[in-house]
Amino acid sequence: MKTRSVWIAAVLFVAGVGSLVACGVRRDMAPMAYPSAQYLATPDAQERPGAGFNTEAYDRIVENPFLAAAENPLSTFAIDVDTASYSNARRFLSQGQRPPPDAVRIEEFINNFRYEYPEPQGQAPFTVTAETTRCPWAPEHVLVQIGLRAKSINQEGIPPRNLVFLIDVSGSMADPNKLPLLKSALRLLVEQLTERDRLAMVVYAGSSGLVLPPTPGDRKGTIIESLDRLEAGGSTNGGEGIQLAYRVARESFVQGGVNRVVLATDGDFNVGVTSQGELTRLIEKERESGVFLTVLGFGMGNLKDSTMEKLADLGNGNYAYIDSLSEARKVLVHEAAGTLVTVAKDVKLQVEFNPARVRAWRLIGYENRLLRAEDFNNDKKDAGEMGAGHTVTAIYEIVPAGAQGSQAALAGVDPLRYQTPRQATPESGSDELLTVKARYKDPAGETSRLLTQTVSAEERDIRQASDNLRFAAAVAAFGMLLRGSEHKGNATLDLVRELAQSALGRDPNGYRAEFLELVEKAKGVL
C-alpha cells in the first residue's frame, strides 16, 4: 500500500510540473496586464480536437445556374477579396488528394491572382473595366470579365497601424503547420512595422489574456520575444478572446489610421461562444467600432473554414489560409497594404443584362455573396471590402440571344396570370450587352457612391483576349474541374494549361507559374 501511495504521489507531481510547462504561455513569460496568465489547461494529445480524425467544416456550395435574362435581368452580389480557398485546395493537391467540392470557391481561386486593370486616376478608390470573348469550354457562349482595381499605396504611404494579434494557443494548434507556422508568419508582418505603428497580442484557449500591451512597431525584439514564448495547450474559447482583442484595439484606436484585429486560428472554437450564429453576431457588433478584422487560417484535420470565412466577411475584413511560409509572405508582405489597408467598404456590384442580346447568364462563383436586387441601393446592407492595390474579378458566362447549339439548361416558368412580360426600352436595340453598376463607401463613411459602365457585345476568340481574361478563364475552368461542375462543358486540364501558359505575362513573384505546377498535380487526382 505504501509503495502504491508513493507511486501515485510521484505521478501527480510530474503531471503538475507538466501542466505548468505545457500551458499556452511558457512559465518564463512576463505576467499579463489584463486577465491572469493562469488560464490554460493541457489536454492529452489524443484528446485534442481533430487529433487522429478529420473534422474539417465547409459550407455547402450550390453552383449558380443559368438564368433567363428576360425574367432575371439583374445580378447583384458583394465583392470578395478572400483567397483562402485557393491555398487550401493547393494543400490538398500537394498531398495527392482532391479537395472537397465545397472547399472550392471559384471566385477565391480567381482573386488569388493579380490582374493588370487600369489604375484609378480620379477621386474614386477603384476602377471598373470589362472585356468579352468567346467561351473556351462552350464556344457558343460568351465570357464577360468584370475587373475592379483599387488604388495602390507604397510602404511610405501606409497610415499608422494599430494592430492586435489574436492568437489561438489551444491544444488543437500544437501541430507544426499550426502554431509554429503561425509564429513564423507573424514575424514577417512584424518586420514591416515602423515606429508609427502599435502592436498588441492577445492569446486565447480556455480563457484569454493580453500577453503584449500596445507596443511601438520599432521595438521588434520585444514583440518577437513575446511571440516566441507562445505554446499550445487547452480548449478553445474564441469568443472571449475576440471580445478582449477588440477592447484592446478600441482603447488604442488611431483616427485616420489602420485599426485591425488579426485573428490567427484553425477556427476550432469549442468553449464559451461556439456556434456560428453567436460568433457572427459578436463580430457584427464589434465592427461598429471601426476596427476591421483579418482572419488567417492554419492547419488541417479540424480546419473550420466555414466559421472563419463568415467571421472575416462580417468583420469588414478578409480571410486567407496559410499553408506555407511562402503564402504567409504573399499575404503579409507582398500584399500587406491590401491585406490591412481598406480603401473602400461595402462594395457591391449589380449587372443588368440586355435581353435583346442575352438569352441567359450565369455568374461563376460568388454563391455565398449573392444579394437581393433591392440590397444594392440599401446602404445598411453589409458587403465586401477592398484593400489598397487589390484587384477583384467576376466572370459571367452568357448565352447570346439566338445562340445555336447551347447546352445550357434553363428552367422554364408558366406564363403569369396578372401581368405581362417587361416591355423593352429603346436602349435594348443598341449594341450594349450589359450595364455594370458598383456601389461603395469610404472606409469611415456611411453613404454609398455609384459608378456605372456599359459593356458592348464583342465576341473575339479567346486567343485574341488579354492576358487578364485568358488567365482568369483558365483558373475558372480549373475550379470547375475540381468541383466536378455540371457547367464545365469541354474544359480539360490540357485546356487549362494551354490558356494559363499563354497568359503568364508579368509574373514577378511566380504565382502564375506555380499555378501551372498545381494543374500538373491535379492530373493525379482528377
Q: Chunked in runs of 10, what are the mean pLDDT values of the chain (526 residues)? A: 46 39 41 36 35 78 96 96 97 96 98 96 95 96 97 89 95 93 95 96 87 97 95 78 93 95 86 68 89 94 90 93 95 91 97 96 98 98 95 97 80 83 85 96 96 89 95 98 97 98 93 97 94
Contact 322, 182 (CB under 8 A): yes
The separation between the first and the last C-alpha atoms of the chain, rounded to the nearest angstrom, is 64
Distance (Å) of CA 84 to CA 62, 111, 305, 328, 505: 19, 10, 9, 12, 24
State the pairing for strand pair 142-150/391-400. Answer: antiparallel
Q: By C-alpha distance, which of 143, 116, 3, 16 is closest to 389?
A: 116
Digit-coded pLDDT (tens) for 180-220: 999 999 999 999 999 999 999 999 987 789 999 999 999 99
Distance (Å) of CA 335 to CA 81, 153, 518: 12, 11, 21
Q: Quick one: pLDDT at residue 53?
A: 60
* The one-letter amino acid at 342: T
The CA distance from 417 to 238, in Å, is: 53
State the pairing for strand pair 126-134/358-364. Answer: unpaired
State the pairing for strand pair 342-353/432-441. Answer: antiparallel
In this structure, what DSSP letter does residue 6 have? Answer: H
How crowded is residue 15: how many other Cβ atoms within 10 Å of its Cβ? 10
Contact 507, 467 (CB under 8 A): no
**Integer Rg of the chain from CA:** 25
Scored b (16 or more CB within 10 A) or e, 294-319 reads bbbbbbbbbbbbbbbbbbbbbbbbbb
The CA distance from 265 to 170, in Å, is: 9
SS3 readout for 142-175: EEEEEEEEECCCCHHHCCCEEEEEEEECCHHHCC
* The one-letter amino acid at 267: G
216 CB burial (10 A radius; 0-12, 13-18, 19+):
middle
Q: Quick one: pLDDT at residue 517?
A: 97
The CA distance from 396 to 457, in Å, is: 13
Digit-coded pLDDT (tens) for 242-280: 899 999 999 999 999 999 999 999 987 765 555 677 888
The CA distance from 240 to 260, in Å, is: 17
Q: What residues does 263 pair with on adjacent strands? A: 166, 295
Q: What are the DSSP calls for 399-431, one per residue?
A: EETT-SS--------PPPSS-PPPPPPGGGGSS
List of residues 6+ apart from 146 with CB closer than 8 A? 128, 129, 130, 349, 351, 393, 394, 395, 396, 436
**Is this prediction's pTM over 0.75?**
yes
Q: Quick one: pLDDT at residue 261?
A: 95
C-alpha cell of residue 103: 472547399
Work out the angle at residue 362's Cα, subtended by the Cα atoms of residues 358 and 366, and round it to the nearest 5 degrees.
140
Distance (Å) of CA 276 to CA 83, 267, 468: 21, 11, 37
Which domains are present in the chain? 67-153+343-402+431-522 (2.60.40.1230), 160-340 (3.40.50.410)
Phi/psi at 229 (nearest 5 deg)? -80, -5
Q: Quick one: pLDDT at residue 273?
A: 58
How crowded is residue 5: how many other Cβ atoms within 10 Å of its Cβ? 9
Q: Quick one: pLDDT at residue 4?
A: 47
Q: Quick one: pLDDT at residue 114?
A: 95
The CA distance from 292 to 286, in Å, is: 9
Contact 484, 91 (CB under 8 A): no
The CA distance from 240 to 384, in Å, is: 26
Q: What residues does 320 pair with on adjacent strands? A: 296
List of residues 6+ apart from 340 with CB closer than 8 A? 158, 161, 163, 258, 260, 294, 387
* The one-letter amino acid at 18: G
Q: By C-alpha distance, which of 358, 375, 367, 383 is closest to 142?
A: 358
In this structure, what DSSP letter does residue 371 have? Answer: -
C-alpha cell of residue 489: 462543358
